[in-house]
Chain A
Amino acid sequence: MDLSYGAEYEAFREEVRGFILANWSPAHARDTERVAAFRLQATEAGYLYRSIPRRFGGSEQPADVLRAQVIQEEFSRARAPMEVVGNGVRMLVPTLLECGAEWQKEKFVPPTVRGEVDWAQGYSEPGSGSDLASVRTRGELVGDEWVINGQKIWTSRAHLCRYMFALVRTEPEAPKHQGISYLLLDLDQPGVTIRPLKQVTGQSEFNEVFFDDARTPADWIVGQRGEGWQVSRSTLKHERTGIGNAETYLVQFSKLLGVARSATKNGRPAIEDPVVQDRLAEIEGYLQSHKYSTYRQLSMNLAGKDPGPVTTMNKLVVTNLGHQIAALAQDLIGDDSLLLPVYGRDRKVGNERWMNQFFGSLGVAIAGGTSNIQRNIIGERGYGLPRDNVVPGGKASPDRKGGDGS
């Protein structure tokens, strides 16, 4: 058992620390220009966009899980900006690099990684959530354009995004999974109506998007006609692995300790209360388990070994962690939880900001495959339990492989 990263990686860690120290201060966090400039520097130095070729705006580094881990640890610790957050970088870029045409990579990847354009993910529809492959939004090739009609929903930040990548049914006669194409489109056009949905938080982060003869060029398709389902698989995979990160929850837990120190119970700091300590220690048990579970998965990946069923559990595990942290935080902040947290970076926010974490934890339980879908995946892929019954005939395709619609 060797938990050290070894001399080579510790030297690398020093290098990363030195870089951050020289180029970043948390005081710059709200200065978008400085953030963008820092990202460029960090990319130049080989720390960000490591798997993206230089000609597309990446740093084109050899795959090295440990270096990536060190970078993530050091950037998180210093609260330095990492890659642009959003569906563009997280989902579309890897998809384009894997399946896109050369011109598509040239046109779309560089501005996306620079954070100049953002992408909405046009997947879910009112009738297609967990059963994503049942999408009904239609695309017809008319001349040299796709003409799109239908509706998407839960499209995060669509009202702020320039483009969308979407699953669209272009082959209505084909079986469910073979009738979908992966199209790119400009949201800034008359055929597209975006209606923000007001969320439980009171904020509007996601939207309904209506297509009424919306148009996109014939060659704005990734992969071939009818291959959209397979093309989209790589992005879903990215979304699922992206959420299973212990660092986020280690930081959340240390903030929770901060609340427990400042809150009082029976006239004493809540952190000294035996019940609070017991609950903190319970969460710590899950948190440290997940931390060492990720170390183990990392080590086994490095050695080319299969970590087993645990890889199917990461999302459910962090969902549960977020839920436990939210529950204790609410008890610690007491009646501050009756307040609606105000948004906007310049407003003064009190303890009720933990209600954002509470609502966020509910969002994590849904986004990227609900917890019940995760349980299907664990049972079916992890432990070989029979797949859920799929209604035969109709739109259900006989090649359906799992309860998650893959």
Chain B
Amino acid sequence: MNFDLSEEQTALQDSVGRFFQAELDQTRLLKIFDSDDGHDAQLWKALGDLGVLGLMIDERYGGTGLEMLDAAAVAEVLGYHAAPGPHLGQVLAALAIAQCDDDALKERWLPRLASGESIGTVALAEAGNAWQPNEWTLIKSSTLSGSKRNVLYAQHADIMVVGVAGGQLMLVEHPGESAEISELPGLDGTRRIDHVVFNDTPAVALNGSAGKLRDAACVLLAADAFGGARRCVDMAVDYALTREQFGQVIGAFQALKHQLANVAADIEPARGLYWYAAHAFDAVPEDAERMAALAKAHLAERFLNAAREATQAHGGIAYTWEYPLHVWLKRAVFDRMYLGETSVHRARVAQLSSWAEAS
């Protein structure tokens, strides 16, 4: 029994954490958050050089050839630092291409995705909160028509994996040239979303499981949420240890101490939940979908709760744009809503658990 990250995984987390500590101070984070397109090319290139973008891409295509657990461990760090940019779509697009059997596509795109030279994204949601593969309606054909919402960084994307009817996937190369993309006024400045209208847009079929792509997204969002929630606790604790009122630091007051203890006890034990969901994705196929849904539902709720409580614990300063806690608050809303809200995933958990059948 060794239910813990390996030394390599811990070292990976540490090195990515050190990178963000050095490269992404509050000023730069808020600058990117406030920028027109939420994408810092220099930071992006550095992430590619660090190997963060190609963790799950096979070594023969320039990646590191690691697994979901490694990617999720890194996603926790990204969440902790509210890393801005297109990496969620990048990792998912690469997964979709990696699981298809078109070697030419892999050779063309995976090395560029691993390095960050190209940007990939996934177009999943349709109008009416239709995020799940069985809700997609775009007709599978050599050209696509119809629209997708809430597509991560579509304006920057060189490739776009599109979910179509029947829970299948297609690939649009250079969507900027063949689809109409308009920016949505997104809440989370660290993960920008666009509206995409396809109009006889050329596309190729990608064989492989859309469900697996959805599971991957759930695990990565859960890991991001855990990291973000942890940051909210850390920020609130730091504040409680420095802010003084009535002649003492406010962390000495039981009301605040207990509030922070409740939030911490709400999230800290859930670290293993995303670990196991990631591990199941890699190695326990019969548990993978259920645990991904459970981890996404649980951790997204925990993150939003932690962000709310941290906001409350700070008082007025947290309600300003200048103090960066709102970045995590908005990220928490994103993690919770992207791919469908909590009740959707809890319903899936219930279904996948076969609870109705007598054991």
Q: What is A's interface to B at a CB cutoff of 8 Å?
A: 1-6, 9, 66, 69, 254, 257-258, 260-261, 269, 271-272, 274, 277-278, 280-282, 284-286, 288-293, 295-296, 298-300, 302-303, 305, 308-310, 313, 316-317, 320, 372, 374-376, 378-380, 382-389
Contact = CB atoms under 8 A, between A and B. Distances in A.
Q: Is the interface of B mostly helix, strand, loop or mixed?
A: helix
A385 B242 CA distance: 10
B109 to A, nearest CB: 29
B294 A1 contact: no
Contacts of B127: none
A115 B1 CA distance: 33
Nearest to A272: B356
Given A278-B343, A290-B269, A295 B257 contact: no
Given A272-B356, A310-B269, A378-B264, A286 B298 contact: yes
A298 B356 contact: no
Contacts of A296: 3-4, 271-272, 275
B42 interface: no
A250 to B, nearest CB: 12
26 contacts: A1-B5, A269-B356, A271-B355, A278-B346, A281-B350, A285-B294, A285-B301, A288-B294, A292-B272, A293-B268, A296-B275, A299-B3, A299-B4, A300-B4, A303-B4, A308-B268, A313-B264, A313-B269, A375-B261, A379-B251, A383-B264, A385-B251, A385-B260, A386-B241, A387-B252, A388-B252
Nearest to B257: A379
Chain A contact residues: over half helix, strand or loop, or mixed?
helix
A5 B1 contact: yes
A244 B69 CA distance: 27
Interface in B324-359: 343, 345-347, 349-351, 353, 355-356, 358-359
Given A261-B358, A292-B276, A302 B294 contact: no
A32 B233 CA distance: 50
B245 interface: no
A385 B241 contact: yes
Contacts, number: 175
B350 A375 contact: no
A385 B279 CA distance: 34
Interface in B283-300: 283, 291, 294, 297-298
User: How big is the B interface, by class?
Assistant: 35 or more
A76 to B, nearest CB: 16
Interface string B264-278: 110011111101100
Interface in B236-258: 237, 240-241, 248-249, 251-252, 254, 257-258
Closest 3 CB pairs of A and B: A292-B272, A285-B298, A277-B350
Contacts of B248: 386
Given A289-B272, A290-B269, A293-B272, A382 B261 contact: yes
A299 B279 CA distance: 16
B2 interface: yes
